[in-house]
A and B are shown apart, each in its own frame.
Chain A
Amino acid sequence: MTQRVVVTGLGCISAAGFNTDNFANKLFLPEHQTAQTISPLSAFTNEAARAHFAAIVPDYDPQTHFSKSQLKQLDRFAQFALLATDEALAHAQLTTDNIVPQRTAVIHGTSIGGQETIENSYLQLLQEGKARAHPFTVPKLLPSSATSQISMKYGITGPSFSTSSACSSSAHAIAMAVLMLRSGLVDTAIAGGAEACITEGNFRVWEGLRVLSTDTCRPFSASRTGLIIGEGAGTLILETLEHALARSAPIHAELVGIGMSSDAHNIVQPLAEGAQQAMQAALDDANCSPDKIQYINAHGSGTVQNDSTETQAIKNVFQSHARNLAISSTKSLHGHVLGAGGAIESIASIMAITHQTVPPTRNYLAADPTCDLNYVPNHPVKKDIQYAMSNSFAFGGLNAALLFKKFS
């Protein structure tokens, strides 16, 4: 019989705070206390008409978390990956003493990797006439460096690699971990993703794509102007149910379904059929009928195109039940964290289950005729949530949907 997979540890860092407690707190704040997590980047531009907002990790000082020699090897995204993983392992009551190294996997995704390292070193070499690059530039910028750092820190010797599928990277990482756990390849998996690419160069190339919001992130709302880039990391500790029970681990939720698909359509424009296929695959994988689902943590990027396409896809999969669903995009809180999005939003979905409360879509102004479902605008809502789905639909049509269930 296939192994059941449960979530025993959560860790995250984002504009919504340094850990899961901060995150939960901000996720469920009432409307009148909405946290200010999206702020202007005056360092890049002071032209109000151009995109200049982002969701950065506030008051982050690397030196309070890492030594000088550690920082030589850690790009900002790898720092975030380690901090989120430290928290997740601590929550799961796993340490180097009780982790079984060869039966544990690390699968950590990223969309871009060591952007800060790439940008700074290229700037120094190509613009500032510096003669040489620091010897650790390459190991620091590799998209797989965060995975390596996690495996080295905790002595994990099982399968370890990084996934990269733009904004679905960490959702795919989690899906890969589930397959490994179900197949019996490992008993424990450290899965998630990290991103830290709010550098001047990267911000400008995103602006070139004309998808950045000029004010804030308003998913599914009328007059939404685009996405807000965020940074951070999310890590989930996944275990087979058997393994978790044997060591009396805390169980936050069960991961009952994974669905993956590709649009095979366009490098930036989403296709409803691809999103539908991923959601349907997650439901089928869990052997779960659509009417059992109470909450969807949508991809909800805040772009005109994504939110209407995702709405259509949800209607096509859930049919008449679509109107009963609570749907929200927590990107309105933590921004679009690209390769970390799937993991952070999985954590939000699990928190919705454990708190029996739907986190709202913040910054929502008014209904858009093409987005006519219940997006839980601005204020959290108490709800009996047995099943929650987390959607990630990336550029290039790389889709993943994860289905979590209240553990019993």
Chain B
Amino acid sequence: MTNITNQIKTIVAEYTDENLDQLSSSQTLTDIGIDSLAVVEIIFDLEEAFDITVPSEQELAQRNFSLAHLDDVVHLVSTLINEKED
């Protein structure tokens, strides 16, 4: 898990000037300057890095996934990795 979190942080860090280690759990990606276009890029990078496919926005919403916070991203990626391995 820590390993995955670190990998995700490395990817997300490319799109913000903020130090992700000092991020509070209430801060959203938008708060640290990551716009919707950057989120699309981050999804691409995550798919490439973890060999996963991030579902459509609608499916994410149906399954109650969010990409608002860094923790949400970690949760989503971990779930998708587990689903892939099952």
Residue positions of A touching B, CB distance < 8 A: 72, 131-132, 134-136
Q: Is the CB of B47 within 8 A of A131?
A: yes
Contacts of A136 in B (CB 8 A): 41
In the complex, B44 has a CB within 8 A of chain A: yes
Contacts of B53 in A (CB 8 A): 131
CB distance from B63 to the nearest CB of A (A): 21
Q: Is the CB of B44 within 8 A of A134?
A: yes
CB distance from B18 to the nearest CB of A (A): 15
Most-contacted residue by chain A among B43, B44, B51 (CB, 10 A): B44
Other than the given A132-B44, A135-B40, 9 more pairs (CB < 8 A) read: A72-B41, A131-B47, A131-B53, A132-B47, A134-B44, A135-B41, A135-B43, A135-B44, A136-B41
CB distance from A112 to the nearest CB of B (A): 25
Contacts of B40 in A (CB 8 A): 135
User: Within B43-57, which residues are at the interface with A (CB < 8 Å)?
Assistant: 43-44, 47-48, 51, 53
Q: How far is the CA of A134 from the CA of B48 in the complex (A)?
A: 10
CB distance from A140 to the nearest CB of B (A): 12
For this complex, 8 residue pairs linking A to B, each with C-beta atoms less than 8 Å apart, are: A72-B41, A131-B53, A132-B47, A132-B48, A134-B44, A135-B40, A135-B44, A136-B41
Contacts of B48 in A (CB 8 A): 132
- The chain B residue sitting closest to A130, CB to CB, is B48
Q: How many residues of B contact A (CB 8 A)?
A: 8
Q: How far is the CA of A132 from the CA of B45 in the complex (A)?
A: 10
CB distance from B43 to the nearest CB of A (A): 8
Contacts of B43 in A (CB 8 A): 135
CB distance from B79 to the nearest CB of A (A): 19
CB distance from B33 to the nearest CB of A (A): 12
Q: How far is the CA of A132 from the CA of B49 in the complex (A)?
A: 12
CB distance from A96 to the nearest CB of B (A): 22
Q: How far is the CA of A131 from the CA of B47 in the complex (A)?
A: 9
Contacts of B51 in A (CB 8 A): 131
CB distance from A259 to the nearest CB of B (A): 43
CB distance from A251 to the nearest CB of B (A): 41
Q: How far is the CA of A203 from the CA of B80 in the complex (A)?
A: 42
CB distance from B57 to the nearest CB of A (A): 14
- The chain A residue sitting closest to B38, CB to CB, is A69
Q: How far is the CA of A59 from the CA of B41 in the complex (A)?
A: 30
Q: How far is the CA of A135 from the CA of B47 in the complex (A)?
A: 12
User: Within B16-69, which residues are at the interface with A (CB < 8 Å)?
Assistant: 40-41, 43-44, 47-48, 51, 53
Contacts of B44 in A (CB 8 A): 132, 134-135
CB distance from B17 to the nearest CB of A (A): 12
Q: How far is the CA of A131 from the CA of B40 in the complex (A)?
A: 16
- The chain A residue sitting closest to B51, CB to CB, is A131
Q: How far is the CA of A139 from the CA of B65 in the complex (A)?
A: 28
CB distance from B37 to the nearest CB of A (A): 8
Q: How far is the CA of A136 from the CA of B51 in the complex (A)?
A: 19
Contacts of B47 in A (CB 8 A): 131-132
CB distance from A202 to the nearest CB of B (A): 26
Contacts of A134 in B (CB 8 A): 41, 44
**Which 9 pairs of residues, A with B, have the shortest CB-CB distance?**
A135-B40, A135-B44, A135-B41, A134-B44, A132-B47, A132-B44, A72-B41, A132-B48, A131-B47
CB distance from A188 to the nearest CB of B (A): 30
Q: How far is the CA of A131 from the CA of B51 in the complex (A)?
A: 9
Contacts of A131 in B (CB 8 A): 47, 51, 53
CB distance from B47 to the nearest CB of A (A): 6
Q: How far is the CA of A131 from the CA of B49 in the complex (A)?
A: 12
